[in-house]
Chains A and B, each alone.
Chain A
Amino acid sequence: MRLALFLGCTIPTEQYAFEISVRETLPKLGVKLVDMNGASCCGCPLRSVNETAWLYLSARNLALAEEMKLDVLPLCNLCELSFQEVRKLLASRPDLKERINSLLAKEGLHFGGDSQVKSLLGVLYDDVGLERITQSVKRPLNGVKIAAHYGCHTLMPSEYERPDDPWNPHKLEDLIRAVGAETEDYREKLACCGALLVASAEDALANVAWSKLKAILDRGFDAMALVCPFCHKMFDARQEAFNLAVGREHVSLPVFYYVQLLGWAMGISEKGVGLNLNMSPARTLLRKVRRRRAS
């Protein structure tokens, strides 16, 4: 399977561990990734101030994928949802499609809607499949319990094609079990990371993210696995900042991109999946796995 790799803004400018682990892991599972020359922002961050520009930017990147004759894999949940929204909207509104295509023509591009939009969760679960993933595991993560955090846009709104059920998802949990770790359902599973409050309500954001970290620790999980760069930025990179901002109990939870755990379980080195870049105490989980295996 060959896919156009769409990185968006947040991943290639700061969430390097996600990009590194995906580039290293997916090809080993039969997913070839082709970089998109000329790619730009998906437009989603600016949808609030200019809908036309949002439509144009998403359609522009979809048009680039069409030129490559490939389906596209946007790694970021916001980009992925944005592409799905714009695809559906332009398919149902020929007038809008024409207007956007007249803008695209100035760059010699055309949006037809031929490229399908893939999500990382969908590619791992539905295309690669649990069986192949289970077979690829050389270092199972036995003896640790990992909480699944799907991220809101992976699941909703379900009027757009989403990779899992909006209220009762299971794919990430199945994938966590496939690498040998334990997991279980928990009440706060669908709680948002709050990332998009960053521009407007920092205090609220700190409380949103900190509360979820605390709930996961209170329920006895050893770590958290997720698939979205914004969620990771909140729970991993800003964990200490939120501890300070909230000023209550100090929480300390190892947070991973799921692909990092998968790659490590497949035998890729810690650096190979960018674990040195995690700001949360990620390595404590791997030490725990090693200790359990030794004993």
Chain B
Amino acid sequence: MGRSSETGPRLRVSQPVRTSKSLPTLVAELESMIGNQKPGYCYQCAKCTSSCTASKYIPEFRPHEIVSMARLGLARQLLESDLIWMCAGCQKCVECCPQEVSPYEVLVALRNIASEMGFIPNGYVRMTGTLLEKGLVQPEQTAATRNLEFFDRESLKLPALPAPSDMKRFSSILREAGFDKIVRRGKS
């Protein structure tokens, strides 16, 4: 799992927080939730890696190897690695896998467990905070034009941004679903 010097991805993640749950418990939880990831079916043809968007420019990111590591029970090494956050999410690997393994979903599962353990890239913590406050993961932006004019929804005569009618209730439901932990960890 070496890192090439030129493309070397650097990712800031929040400080890990110990979870009371064991790793197998977390993995089992995720598997039961997603249901259709089967790394055991992979026979390492590497079609996923040849179709992979990220792999072309981040050579050490190889989906078939990640699936293999997950299959071999090396989840902890993956969970603590920046690598699992390097996927471009294009899902070409899902489409071209002859064994219906879905390296993408294996990665999503690993990311969920990593988050549960406290390894969360800052971008996700920010998005979670905005979601709890506004119902969307990004606040309204000012749009610039080529002629250096600036517009927002109001000046473009667009209707007001949609938002949950009861923001308090909305965010309390999301906190119950586990977002509270993510926001607090991000600040630590």
Q: Is the CB of B54 within 8 A of A204?
A: yes
Q: Does B162 contact A (CB under 8 A)?
A: yes
Contacts known (A41-B135, A56-B173); A46 close to B128, Cβ less than 8 A: yes
- Give the Cβ gap from B178 to chain A, nearest Cβ, in Å: 5
Contact residues, B87-146 vs A (CB, 8 A):
87-92, 94-95, 102, 108, 111-112, 115, 120-121, 123-124, 127-128, 131, 135-141, 143-146
CA–CA, A103 and B172, complex, Å = 10
Q: Name the contact of A13 in the complex, choosing from B121, B140, B146, B176 (C-beta under 8 A).
A: B140
Stretch at the interface among A125-133, A178-186, A195-203: A195-203
Q: Is the CB of B161 within 8 A of A13?
A: yes
Q: Is the CB of A208 within 8 A of B173?
A: no
Q: Does A137 contact B (CB under 8 A)?
A: no
- A89: chain B residues at CB < 8 Å are 35
Stretch at the interface among B20-28, B41-49, B69-77, B149-157: B149-157
Q: Is the CB of B141 within 8 A of A14?
A: yes
The 8 A CB mask of A131-175 against B (1 = contact, 0 = none) is 000000000000000000000110111110000001100000000
User: Size of chain A's interface in residues, with CB distance under 8 A?
Assistant: 65
Contacts known (A13-B136, A53-B178); A279 close to B146, Cβ less than 8 A: yes
Contact residues, A22-67 vs B (CB, 8 A):
35-41, 45-53, 56-57
- A49: chain B residues at CB < 8 Å are 111-112, 115, 120, 124, 128, 182
Q: Is the CB of B95 within 8 A of A208?
A: no
CA–CA, A114 and B177, complex, Å = 24
CA–CA, A57 and B102, complex, Å = 23
| Seed contacts A49-B111, A107-B170; 12 additional CB < 8 Å A-B pairs | A9-B138, A16-B156, A37-B165, A40-B163, A48-B108, A48-B115, A166-B95, A197-B54, A199-B124, A201-B86, A276-B147, A281-B146
Q: List 20 A-B contacts (CB under 8 A).
A: A14-B140, A14-B141, A20-B156, A35-B159, A38-B165, A40-B131, A40-B136, A40-B162, A40-B164, A46-B131, A49-B128, A50-B112, A51-B34, A56-B173, A56-B177, A103-B177, A166-B95, A192-B92, A203-B57, A207-B57
Among all A-B residue pairs, the 8 with the closest Cβ atoms = A199-B123, A204-B57, A196-B89, A152-B90, A40-B135, A156-B95, A192-B53, A39-B162
